Structure 1
Amino acid sequence: MDIIKQKNTPFYKNKILLGSMASVLFAGVVYASTQVQLAGFSMKKNSVISAIVERGDFDIKVSGPGILVPRGIRWVSSTVAGKVERILVKPGAQVEQGQLIVELINPELDQKVQELYWELESMQAKTRALKVSQDTQILDIQAEVLNTQMQYDKAKMRLDAESKLIKKGNATVSKLDYESSKLTVSQLAKTIDINKARTKQLKLNLIAGFEAQTAQLNKLKKTLERAQFQSDSLSIKAPVSGVLQAMPLELGQQVLLGSNIAKFAKKGDLIAELKVPELNASDILIGQKVAIDTRFNQINGKVIRIDPAVVNGTVQVDVELEKNLPDEARPDLSIDGEIFLTQKQNTLFVRRPAFSQANQTTSIYKFDNADKYVLKTLVSFGLSSSVNIEILNGLKAGDKIIVSEQTGFERHNKISMN
């Protein structure tokens, strides 16, 4: 019996097979085309920053960098010219009030002080000599007044005796002697009055002369005190207990009158100076609470001053700190601060996207449930802080969105995330 062999038809001549393959290929092309239309752009997940929408108490706060500064800074200036001889304390050291920190030298000033001492000793000797001379003059005129008084008393006794004899008619006393005695008494009486006036005037003159001498002596004393003060000022001491922050001096340097010597700050008496963006500064008020981050601890405080001027796009806000500061708190320490403006309870909020603005409606990219795609979504934002922003419409709690810059893909409505 003969066996009939069947011919094997090549696959490319098999119409049924070719039709099936064509159908599958067409379906794939259609599917791919659809996906390309829906997700015409793709990127990696790790190339963007995302955040999840939350519901809860939303703290509206403004943050900004800053530094700790002393509440009161005190510069010590030189009250005398001199050359730096010794520097005993370096910046950053703790000092006590009255502690010697710098020594200057000024040989001319030292010589001036010595010469003034000699002049003062000479002036004091002259003053003592003047006092002795004036006392002698007073004694001389007093002796003269006393002598005149004695002469007057003697002449008056003679005149009284002659008057009695003349009244009795006693011829032993001539009329000429009697008149002479009267004239003598009268002259002596006038001399006494003149001497009293001379004594009074002499005392006034002597007092004026002594006061003039005393004034010169006091002037010289003041000059010496000033020179001595300048000499003592060559030894510069700390005016307060605290931290020596700066000392722009070198050994051998010539220091001029009025030059800054050292900068001091009281330890522990610090405030924070924050730099806040000018767009957020309008909502800040005096007395608002502030949290200061030192990288190691958090310090609470409150706003005490808002600078009215804008510098380089920021506004300076001064913050008073709590009394018990941590050990790392020191002048010029870099910090970050958060100023609490207000709080909204039970509201939607999310980490603030880089492109978002408060009280505006903006398109953002929201992830689907599988995190495979992001879809452009219109979202209405409300109040914002430096970190978070309130959501009024367009998102719900648990939604995941892109918060980084979207300038490279913002023209696409749907993006595939790899």
Structure 2
Amino acid sequence: MVMHNKINSPASGAAMDTVVPRRHGRRIAIALACVVVAAVAAYALRALLPRGLRVDGADLRIAQVARGVFVDEIVVRANAEPLHSVILDAVESGRVEEVLATDGALVKQGELLFRISNPQRHLELLARQSEHAVSIFNLSNLRVAQEASASDHQRRLDELRFNAEQARKRHERNTRLAQQGFISTVALEESNDMLQQQQQLLALQERAGKTEARVRDAAARQLETAIGGLDSGLKLVSGTVDALAVRAPVDGRLTNFRLQVGESVATGKNIGRIDDPVRFKLAASVDEYYLNRMAVGRHGSVKQDDRDYPADIRAIYPQIKDGRFTVDLVFTKGQPPVMNPGQSLDARITLGEPAPALLLPSGAFINDSGGAWVYVLDADGRGAQRRALRVGRRNNAQIEVLAGLAAGDKVIVSSYAAYGNSPRLQLDR
């Protein structure tokens, strides 16, 4: 029996081809562990990082966006002012000699208020009066001379006409006598020459008289024109002297009148005004945002003692000061029975018709963001995110939302001044 020694036989490669199963569970466990570690790290990082600017939630004013009717009107504070006022400025300079009125008094048109002295004006008046008197005297002398010259001319003219008429009659007689042969041809020629001479002298005198009359009339007209100018100057100087006694130009209440005897007054100095004591208007200060929407004739109203008094915009003053401009309103159907200058009233101005809109209550935030963005609360109310906003019309209580918010959103409407440009707020309760 032959025995085979397996130890010494060469090894076969079949044993090395055995498939070893892969260990997928280990890799999955490693991946899960990495995910858990990453989640824990992210949570820890989130816990360590700040969640926005921390603010005290108790100090915030929060409002909710809702659909409703936008009332296109604003309420502004207005002051009562006299409907008509006449400014009193000094027309002449001088020294106050007498004060006859007091500040706040009711005065009548033409009533003497005060009197000033100005010696220079009196001297000017005397000089103009003298010039006027001299011109009147010269005109009178001219007219006397004209009358004398006209009389002399008329006398000479009458004489020449008489002589011409006599020469004509003589020549006619000589003509008849010459035809009968009683006088010579030479005598007839002499009478004809005499007639021609008298007629020429008459015509020359008539032309000279007309020329002289034209010259006299032109000189008289020039002197009359000069006198007319002197009359105007005299009236002007007399008016300046009369202006030294200042009288009330209209009826009304004297305001800001504080002149004292002995005080020097310069030309153009404001010395007060006269106000209408009965009729008033309203001067309202309006935010510059509404300037483009204001127009003369827009309707408004004020309320006093549970009664509305209609008032329309009469004037708009577009000069902006401290972010506001001024409009004047006048009452159209009567004014409140009790009104005083400077009295404050709330005036309601209508800018358009009511219309459905998405509304956000107005607040201090509108001045800080200009309506370009707001802080919108998270669903849990623990934070607020900055969000872009587009608004339309606004009034004292409402803002029309055009884009950026939806009904039900809660918005911080208190001031944003302390938040800077922070994109997110964390609310502490």
The TM-score range, normalised by the shorter chain, is 0.5 to 0.7
Note the 1:215-294 alignment, pairs <5 A.
215-247=225-257, 249-279=259-289, 281=291, 287-292=297-302
Q: Deviations over 1:76-113 (max 9, x none)?
A: 43433332223333444333333332322222222332
- Number of aligned residues: 361
Does the aligned pair in 1 maintain the 2:100–2:114 contact within 8 Å? yes
Choose the corresponding residue for 1:159, options 171, 194, 199: 171
Equivalent residue number for residue 84 of structure 1: 96
Equivalent residue number for residue 183 of structure 1: 193
Amino acid at match of 1:95: V
Note the 1:330-409 alignment, pairs <5 A.
330-341=340-351, 352-355=362-365, 362=375, 385-387=395-397, 393-394=407-408
Query: Are residues 1:301 and 2:308 paired?
Result: no
Does the aligned pair in 2 maintain the 1:57–1:343 contact within 8 Å? no
CA distance 1:90–1:189, shift in 2 (3 Å): same
Equivalent residue number for residue 113 of structure 1: 125
Q: Distance in 1 between matches of 2:269 and 2:130?
A: 31
Query: Are residues 1:127 and 2:103 paired?
Result: no
Amino acid at match of 2:157: V
CA distance 1:328–1:85, shift in 2 (3 Å): farther
Amino acid at match of 1:81: S
Aligned-residue Cα RMSD (Å) equals 4.6
Query: Are residues 1:104 and 2:116 paired?
Result: yes
Q: Distance in 1 between matches of 2:269 and 2:226?
A: 33
Choose the corresponding residue for 1:316, options 326, 335, 350: 326
Does the aligned pair in 2 maintain the 1:84–1:104 contact within 8 Å? yes
SS at match of 2:173: helix
Q: Deviations over 1:136-181 (max 9, x none)?
A: 21111111111122222223333332332232223xx455544433
CA distance 1:122–1:377, shift in 2 (3 Å): same
Q: Which moved more, 1:242-251 or 1:180-189?
A: 242-251
Q: Deviations over 1:351-401 (max 9, x none)?
A: 745446769664579xxxxxxxx96687999875324568964489xxxx9
Equivalent residue number for residue 206 of structure 1: 216
CA distance 1:267–1:133, shift in 2 (3 Å): same
Q: Distance in 2 between matches of 1:290 and 1:384?
A: 17
CA distance 1:90–1:343, shift in 2 (3 Å): same
Query: Are residues 1:329 and 2:339 paired?
Result: yes
Equivalent residue number for residue 21 of structure 1: none
Note the 1:7-46 alignment, pairs <5 A.
none
CA distance 1:364–1:342, shift in 2 (3 Å): farther
Alignment TM-score, normalising by the size of structure 2:
0.65
Q: Distance in 1 between matches of 2:377 and 2:113?
A: 62
Q: Distance in 2 between matches of 1:248 and 1:309?
A: 31
Does the aligned pair in 2 maintain the 1:268–1:325 contact within 8 Å? no
Q: Deviations over 1:309-368 (max 9, x none)?
A: 432222333333334223543444344434344676899989745446769664579xxx
Which ranges in structure 2 are unaligned for 5 or more consecutive residues?
1-54
Does the aligned pair in 1 maintain the 2:64–2:409 contact within 8 Å? no
Amino acid at match of 1:165: L
Does the aligned pair in 2 maintain the 1:64–1:336 contact within 8 Å? yes
Equivalent residue number for residue 68 of structure 1: 80
CA distance 1:318–1:376, shift in 2 (3 Å): farther
Alignment TM-score, normalising by the size of structure 1:
0.67
Choose the corresponding residue for 1:195, options 197, 202, 205: 205
SS at match of 1:310: strand
CA distance 1:285–1:364, shift in 2 (3 Å): farther
Q: Distance in 1 between matches of 2:189 and 2:374?
A: 133
Q: Distance in 2 between matches of 1:287 and 1:238?
A: 33
CA distance 1:133–1:303, shift in 2 (3 Å): closer
SS at match of 2:339: coil
SS at match of 2:91: coil
CA distance 1:334–1:91, shift in 2 (3 Å): farther
Amino acid at match of 2:106: Q
Does the aligned pair in 2 maintain the 1:158–1:181 contact within 8 Å? yes
Shift of 1:189: 1.3
Query: Are residues 1:137 and 2:188 paired?
Result: no
Shift of 1:133: 1.9
Q: Distance in 2 between matches of 1:345 and 1:164?
A: 120
CA distance 1:192–1:49, shift in 2 (3 Å): same
Q: Distance in 1 between matches of 2:162 and 2:295?
A: 95
CA distance 1:348–1:215, shift in 2 (3 Å): closer
Does the aligned pair in 1 maintain the 2:384–2:425 contact within 8 Å? no
CA distance 1:303–1:223, shift in 2 (3 Å): closer
Q: Distance in 1 between matches of 2:297 and 2:134?
A: 66
Does the aligned pair in 1 maintain the 2:56–2:427 contact within 8 Å? no
Amino acid at match of 1:223: G
